Chains A and B, each alone.
Chain A
């Protein structure tokens, strides 16, 4: 398996109840899995655990045979090679689109950076906007910059946290199609968290339904969400 997650448990310091209980997930390379659940179901927490932004109480996460977390290891988020698109994008407001996208490319030479920037800008069709600042862009454009920024370092796994929640309804559908296309083009392995079943139906290869921190159903989108 390309991604192996076993018996992940997590509790926020301030809360009494366990937020994530015995979460397990296996993924093939190139697969897109959607985690569906209502707000408070712990779905975003699962993403944060995989990204390394939270430390689990127990459990194992392996990506591409590399241990991210187990009883004796914890790899810091900056060393995991896992990309993430945040719900509110978290674009650096004082950097241009180009600076935002090349931010994660610190190991490349300037020439390589330029090439990679051109590639991902083309992928998200934002070539004309590379010198704009985030506040000069529409919500949909900002979202594509966030996606381009996460894809630029060619992460081994891409995490998307409610990528459509900040967009208005007609835009959502259009962007959903674009995202599906981009994910297929790059062949990247990805996990998409959403509360909207339609997102999952149209993009995901398989679906996991989370309720109160536990997996209640899992399988192909048609089976699970029908």
Chain B
């Protein structure tokens, strides 16, 4: 008997080593947070804990709970309508209802405020044309209720998409059987569809919750104190990094609790249909009032969460384009695109290395690696930002001697004031998206080409470059696009970690909005929305077609 592990290690060296380095780099800032959280707190921390922490927790939980509830209601009913019934414009709504995903909630937040406030279109119209003065209380969206509305309207597609595809794939004959057993559509919804799609709904709603906890733009603009805003305030206003890290650690534990709960609730109930043959549901044709009702419901949601805000932004952009479109604006676009491009290329390169290593070694280590790789997407931007800052300031402190060797009057902080820090944070946060795409790509290729190539005298690395890279191309492109767009939209990380005077489309929109220059914010917001909408359309519409 001899030890096989030793033999295997010899021919995967480079991939194994690189993967290990990447995984450790991803892990370091997060571990940093957890370790720093255990240090005894200072005076600020005592103050925060005594007087403020309760509010942070209550506000964050309130947002999460109500947004979660409403997105489930909206997402499942819409998914059920478009997959089980036939009514006017159903085909359009099927993917049109996904479009709100293209509008980042912070853009929606300031758009709705601009739409509804005293000088907004609605009130101006009521005042000037109808001579109606409204009670400001009912038109103030900058509240907890308003934030729940924004999150619900722009995040429900997560629940909708997952539930819809689940229903389409899983339930044709179950629904038909229930119909033949004499159940009404409403009964079927409550007794068959809801329980059956529990896992799908849970998956969707936990994405929503993670997005809400990640949000900084909406709550900051609306002046609601949550963990995200508190972390930044503690750090920026009080200059107290230690307390900020402690808050980040608590938020991180909340996220872990969410993930754990999802796992527990899901439990054994991973329902999946027992036959492999998937038959599309034959939709039930709705008549008269019912058809009109279904249409009105879908159209209302679509208007509120896509049509109205987009039209409003187009109008504002029209008013302001002459003021905004000058040289600085092109700098902004180049900044955004190059930051997103460089980071997404790095994300994909790292994802390819780790995914290839994990697929060649199906052991415990691979499982741990892929868990760590995909963890970043669950961790809120504010937490990653704190972790990355502590990590980079520490690095700078250790590298001062090197900086002085290179240049006499170099500053003490080099890495932590450069693009490297922001890029690093992007990689941690969005690696999961790239990794999932690449992993799926590798799964589609399988191992047979690698094996064939090895019996023809090529080693793992040669095979990768000569054979698999080419076959992986679709996965690489789709991963690249997804990551690129997410980075383009990203706000909290960019806001905190960008070098001095570095603006992107996202940060500039947010700054304009914060400075009451809503018209000026419209153009950069629209660019983000258009690029995202094209990709949303591309991925879900094309993806749909491929499946059918």
Contact = CB atoms under 8 A, between A and B. Distances in A.
Given A92-B467, A104-B457, 7 more contacts: A51-B451, A55-B7, A58-B1, A74-B10, A76-B454, A94-B470, A150-B455
11 contacts: A51-B451, A51-B455, A77-B455, A78-B454, A80-B455, A81-B457, A86-B448, A90-B448, A92-B453, A103-B458, A104-B458
A55 B454 contact: no
B471 A153 contact: no
Interface residues of A, number: 34
Nearest to B449: A90
Interface string A55-93: 111100000000000011010111111111010101111
Nearest to B455: A84
Nearest to B471: A94
A84 B449 CA distance: 12
Given A84-B452, A103-B453, A58 B471 contact: no
A175 to B, nearest CB: 19
A57 B457 contact: no
Main secondary structure of the interface of A (DSSP, over half): loop
Interface of A: 13, 51-53, 55-58, 71-72, 74, 76-84, 86, 88, 90-94, 103-104, 106, 149-150, 153, 159
Interface of B: 1-2, 4, 7-8, 10-11, 362-363, 448-449, 451-459, 462, 466-467, 470-471
Contacts of B456: 78, 83, 103-104, 149-150, 153
Main secondary structure of the interface of B (DSSP, over half): helix
Contacts of B471: 92-94
Contacts of B4: 55-57
A108 B283 CA distance: 62
Contact of A90 (B451, B458, B466): B451
B7 A78 contact: no
Given A55-B8, A149-B456, A150-B455, A71 B449 contact: no
A13 B365 CA distance: 14
Given A58-B1, A86-B451, A106 B470 contact: no
Contacts of A57: 1, 4
A13 B457 CA distance: 26
A153 B470 CA distance: 23
A76 B454 CA distance: 8
Contacts of A52: 454-455
Sorted nearest first, the 6 A-B pairs with minimum C-beta distance are A104-B456, A90-B452, A74-B7, A77-B454, A90-B448, A84-B455
A196 to B, nearest CB: 22
Contact of B458 (A58, A78, A81): A78
A135 to B, nearest CB: 13
A123 B453 CA distance: 22
B2 A92 contact: no
A159 B452 CA distance: 12
Contacts of A56: 4
Nearest to B470: A94
B7 A86 contact: no
B460 to A, nearest CB: 8
Nearest to B8: A55
A58 B4 CA distance: 9
Contacts of B467: 92
A76 B7 CA distance: 9
Nearest to A106: B457
B339 to A, nearest CB: 33
Nearest to B7: A74
A78 B461 CA distance: 11
A104 to B, nearest CB: 3
B227 to A, nearest CB: 42
Central interface residue in A74, A84, A92, A149, by most chain B CB within 10 Å:
A92
Nearest to B5: A55
B1 A78 contact: no
A53 B448 contact: no
Nearest to A159: B455
Contacts of A55: 4, 7-8
B455 A71 contact: no
Contacts of A72: 2
A106 to B, nearest CB: 6
A52 B495 CA distance: 52
B466 to A, nearest CB: 8
A195 to B, nearest CB: 19
Contact of B451 (A53, A81, A106): A53
A160 B28 CA distance: 48
A101 B529 CA distance: 49
A92 B457 contact: no
A57 B10 CA distance: 17
A90 B445 CA distance: 10
Contacts of A83: 455-456
Contacts of A79: 457
Contacts of A77: 451, 454-455
Nearest to B2: A71
A88 B449 CA distance: 10
B80 to A, nearest CB: 39
Nearest to A54: B4
A92 to B, nearest CB: 6
Contacts of B7: 55, 74
A70 to B, nearest CB: 8
B495 to A, nearest CB: 43
